[in-house]
Amino acid sequence: MTEIGAEIVLRSPALLASAPPASNQLDTLRFIPGNTVRGILARRFLDQGHEPESPELRRLFVSGEVRYGFAYAEGAEVLPLSARSCKYDSGFRVEKGHGIVDLLLPGAGDPGCPVCHHSLDYFQGFWLPAEGRDVAVKTRLVTRTAIDPQRGTARAGQLYSQRVLAEGQTFLSKIEAPDDLAPLLSEMLQEGFRAVLGTGGSRGQGWAEVRLDQRERRSPERAKDRYERFSEKAGKSVLAVTLLSDGLFRDDYLRESSAPALRDLVPLGIDPEDWMPQPSRAFMDLRQIFGFDGVPIRLPRPSRVAVAAGSAFLFEAKDGREPRVPDGAGAGWIGDSNGEGYGRAVLWHPFHLGPEGDLP
């Protein structure tokens, strides 16, 4: 597999609805979903003259062989939901805050702010691991009126508002493709092109420039090295699982599940027999996933429950077993709909060892 970076620069406000319309205000997602990234590239592929029935199109956009990752602002990651910060002076120390602590490992408890000893509060959003700072996704409120289709004028009493992603922001997506398909995607992105994403394109919303992201990427640390540090800090063998994107999971009866099971971690190199079946600690949230099929169906998809990005789970090893630690970086895809960017996960995320080292 080859990893390709896609850069999406918003040139106008964009609305990627976070929930079905149920009032006179719509709110946007703070990221660009993987299926939206896939749709942008599929449209470009057709515009270049490729036939809809071509085997290349099916392999690139239908078969699930290619995994289109969620695009986050500046290439950030979602902060783990186990993160906490001072209730009165929150934030990373590099940004003059009192620092971030993580509560996933046993014994972390809720000790209070390490600087002023006041209470800790939730600290959610996005962050850049390389720089140790949070990333603010800029939004703004747009007010519009519905148009009467017969009169062509503003419809009485039909004022509504949209919370949209502000223009000028850059979102980065990581795409994983088989080696023989990667050149096709790289060629499309290398040329660069304009695209429309989200809703309201006819009103000037969602216009963006898409091109190849050529930023240098750091080599990931080995999972074995992280596992050893986790075990030393916890005083026993533990398995930490952190979702980098929303995850879709099912139980033994194919019902939607609110947490990954050990069998879901097999693609990451985990042996389910090494670990206790239920997590000993969990910090998680749920999100409703919905959407519409494109032409010619144009019908709503059945909604699903997703485990939110940033959710973290801690498993303990069974007594008397020496767990098998996977080779490589301990990162990959779990659960359903990986082709649309769902289920990106990492084992033993270093954030849980101390987001900012040993705080004073």
Residue with tokens 């620092």: 99
Q: Where are the domains of the chain?
A: 2-76+164-212, 82-123, 223-353
Cα–Cα nearest to 29, from 240, 196, 218, 199:
199
**Side-chain half-sphere exposure of 294, counting CA atoms within 13 A:** 9
Whether the pLDDT of residue 358 is over 60: the answer is no
Whether the pLDDT of residue 256 is over 50: the answer is yes
Average pLDDT over residues 24-38: 89
Which pLDDT tens digit goes with each residue over 84-107?
999 898 989 888 888 898 999 877
> How confident is the model at residue 1, as a pLDDT?
83
Greatest Cα pair distance, the chain, in angstroms, is 77
207-212 vs 238-243, strand pairing mode: unpaired
pLDDT-derived band at 357 (thresholds 50, 70, 90) equals low
Please state which of the ranges 126-130, 205-209, 353-357 shows the lowest mean pLDDT. Answer: 353-357
Could you report how far apart the first and last alpha carbons of the chain are, in Å? 42
Whether the pLDDT of residue 219 is over 70: the answer is yes
Whether the pLDDT of residue 228 is over 60: the answer is yes
Is residue 355 left, alpha or beta, with left meaning phi > 0 and alpha meaning psi from -120 to 50?
alpha
DSSP state of 153: S
Does domain 223-353 fall into CATH 2.160.10.10?
A: no
Whether the pLDDT of residue 132 is over 90: the answer is no
Which pLDDT tens digit goes with each residue over 235-253?
889 999 999 999 999 998 8
Which of 23-32, 267-276, 319-328 shows the highest mean pLDDT? Answer: 267-276
Whether the pLDDT of residue 334 is over 80: the answer is yes
